[in-house]
Structures are given as C-alpha cells and as structure tokens.
Amino acid sequence: MTVQAARILIVEDEEPLTLLLRYNLEAEGYEVDSVARGDEAETRLKEQAPDLVVLDWMLPGLSGIELCRRLRARPETKSLPIIMLTARGEESERVRGLATGADDYVIKPFSVPELLARVRALLRRSKPERVADVLSLGEIQLDRVRKRVTRGGRDIDLGPTEYRLLEFLMERPGRVFTREQLLDGVWGSEVYIDERTVDVHVGRLRKALNRGNDVDPIRTVRGAGYSIDERFGKMA
Ligand code: CA
C-alpha cells in the first residue's frame, strides 16, 4: 500500500528544536515545512493548509495561542489538527491551550518518540489514509492499531521495547542506525541507558522473530549498528 505523505507545518522560533523536529518527522516519512514567526505562519496557513500543525506557544509576531484561536475561527482551518508546544509547569497555559482549541499539547522539554506518537495518533484520527496502520516487510507484519506482530501468520510475542524497536526499524528499512540513534529514537534522548542495552533488546527481538531456519531480517553492521534488511522477503 502506498501512503501519501502527510504534510506537517512546524511553527517554532527555537531553531535547534525546529531542526530536531524536522529531521525526525522527515525520517518518519512526513513532508515538513517550518516557519519561525506566528504572523508568518498565519499568512502561510491562509495560502495552504497542511495536514497537521506543531505550534509553539511563545512566538514572535503572534503568539501560538492567538494563532490557534484565529485558525479555529476560520471555516477553512476550523478542524485543522494542532499540537501545541508549551513550557513545563505552565498548568494554566496548558488549560488555556486546550481552551483555545488545540487538539493536543506537549510539554517542553519532551522526548521525540513521545511527540512522534502524538503526531501519529492525531493524524490517524483526522487523516487515517495518511498513516499506514500496518507495516509489512516480507512475511513480517506489524499492526500499529492492534500492537500485534506476525511472521508468516504466526503471532510474535514482543515486550513493549522490542515492539517499538521493530516498529522503528521497519519504518526505515535499509537504514543503518547506531546504538545511540536507536536509544534516542526508541527509548528517548533524556533517558540514560547503557548502549549495550540496545544489544540485549536486539537479541530478544531476534529470538522472538526467528525460529528454526528462518532468515534473520535484522542486520548487524560491524562498527556501526543495526538495520532491518530492506531486501528481506524479496530474496529467493
Ligand atoms: Ca518559542
């Protein structure tokens, strides 16, 4: 199944955060655009509405909250999915964000996997056709709705970490990830975990996936890390 990429607009004035979000959202297959000012975002959104907006609360030009309120007031953008970014501890702002009509809010600093999960969940509600619910690679299928993995019809029992690890690799077949990148993408960057933990979980994932003479879909790249073989299932 071919899925047309959902378009996401990031409205954020902290450039490092914009770059981090852009990198990770593009890696998930989304088409990403960004603006740093609230007033510019308003102009941009009048020209063309994306499928989802990640909107910072504090912005130059026009605040995220005011922009959100204006977007909700216009019929064209009334139901545009919006995730608001707010600073930690601003409980009243959070409530205000929701009252303004944001669909969801994420408190800074946040983990990238957490934000990606919220984006996916929101898109699934608003644009189900833009998010693949089932990832397939050869005889392996990962159902994101049922959180179920099968290989050749056989159920694969996975712990939550092995599941997320497999999902992460299957979203980007062929790409090699270092242990550090896997820690960031699967566990979240604010968590301190030894890199050898990645090896332990890859080992568990392999044990669950492969039985008997099954071909191992996971490649260990010496001195680099791991990847899932994009040719898996296509090999004779
Ligand atoms: Ca800001």
Point out the domain boundary residue: 99, 130, 161: 130
Cα dihedral value 79, 84, 131, 36, nearest 10? 100
In the DSSP assignment, the letter for residue 6 is P
Please tell me the distance between residue 59's alpha carbon and the centre of ligand 1 in angstroms: 5
Per-residue pLDDT band at 1 (split at 50, 70, 90): very low
In angstroms, rounded to a whole number, what is the distance separating the alpha carbons of residues 104 and 86? 11
- pLDDT, greater one: 31 or 235: 31
DSSP 124-135: HHH-GGGS-SEE
Domain co-membership, 97 together with 153:
no
Please tell me the distance between residue 38's alpha carbon and the centre of ligand 1 in angstroms: 10
E-state strands within 17-133: 31-35, 52-56, 82-87, 104-108
The domain that holds 20 is classified in CATH as 3.40.50.2300
Provide the number of structural domains found in the chain.
Answer: 2
Domain co-membership, 125 together with 22:
yes
Domain co-membership, 121 together with 22:
yes
Domain co-membership, 172 together with 184:
yes
Percent of the chain topping pLDDT 90: 50
Instruction: Flag whether pLDDT at 43 surpasses 60.
Output: yes
What is the residue range of 185's domain? 134-234
Strand 52-56 and strand 7-11: pairing? parallel
Domain co-membership, 23 together with 125:
yes
Domain co-membership, 121 together with 174:
no
Residue owning tokens 């030009």: 61
Please tell me the distance between residue 185's alpha carbon and the centre of ligand 1 in angstroms: 24
The domain that holds 162 is classified in CATH as 1.10.10.10
Q: Which amino acid is at 45?
A: L
In angstroms, rounded to a whole number, what is the distance separating the alpha carbons of residues 206 and 136? 17
Please tell me the distance between residue 56's alpha carbon and the centre of ligand 1 in angstroms: 6
Instruction: Flag whether pLDDT at 82 surpasses 60.
Output: yes
Segment 88-116 shows an average pLDDT of 76
Segment 208-224 shows an average pLDDT of 92
Please tell me the distance between residue 36's alpha carbon and the centre of ligand 1 in angstroms: 9
179 falls within a domain: yes
Segment 20-25 shows an average pLDDT of 93
Point out the domain boundary residue: 130, 153, 173: 130
Segment 222-234 shows an average pLDDT of 86
1 falls within a domain: no
Domain co-membership, 89 together with 156:
no
pLDDT value of position 4: 66
Domain co-membership, 79 together with 179:
no
Closest CA to 140 of 128, 123, 158, 125: 158
pLDDT tens-digit profile of 153-212?
999 999 999 999 999 898 878 888 999 889 888 887 666 788 889 999 999 999 999 998
Please tell me the distance between residue 48's alpha carbon and the centre of ligand 1 in angstroms: 23
Please tell me the distance between residue 6's alpha carbon and the centre of ligand 1 in angstroms: 24
Domain co-membership, 203 together with 144:
yes
- pLDDT, greater one: 98 or 209: 209
pLDDT value of position 164: 92
176 falls within a domain: yes
Please tell me the distance between residue 99's alpha carbon and the centre of ligand 1 in angstroms: 19
Domain co-membership, 15 together with 81:
yes
Mean model confidence pLDDT for the chain: 87
pLDDT value of position 194: 86
pLDDT value of position 236: 45
Strand 52-56 and strand 225-228: pairing? unpaired
- Strand-pairing partners, residue 221, are 225
Alpha helices in the chain (DSSP H): 15-27, 38-47, 64-73, 91-99, 112-126, 160-171, 179-182, 196-209
pLDDT value of position 149: 96
Domain co-membership, 51 together with 153:
no
Instruction: Flag whether pLDDT at 70 surpasses 90.
Output: yes
Q: How many residues does the chain have?
A: 236
Per-residue pLDDT band at 2 (split at 50, 70, 90): very low
Domain co-membership, 123 together with 139:
no
- Strand-pairing partners, residue 54, are 10, 83
2 falls within a domain: no
pLDDT tens-digit profile of 111-145?
888 899 899 888 888 876 666 778 888 899 999 88
Closest CA to 69 of 45, 34, 88, 92: 45
Instruction: Flag whether pLDDT at 224 surpasses 50.
Output: yes
Please tell me the distance between residue 88's alpha carbon and the centre of ligand 1 in angstroms: 12
Point out the domain boundary residue: 130, 164, 197: 130
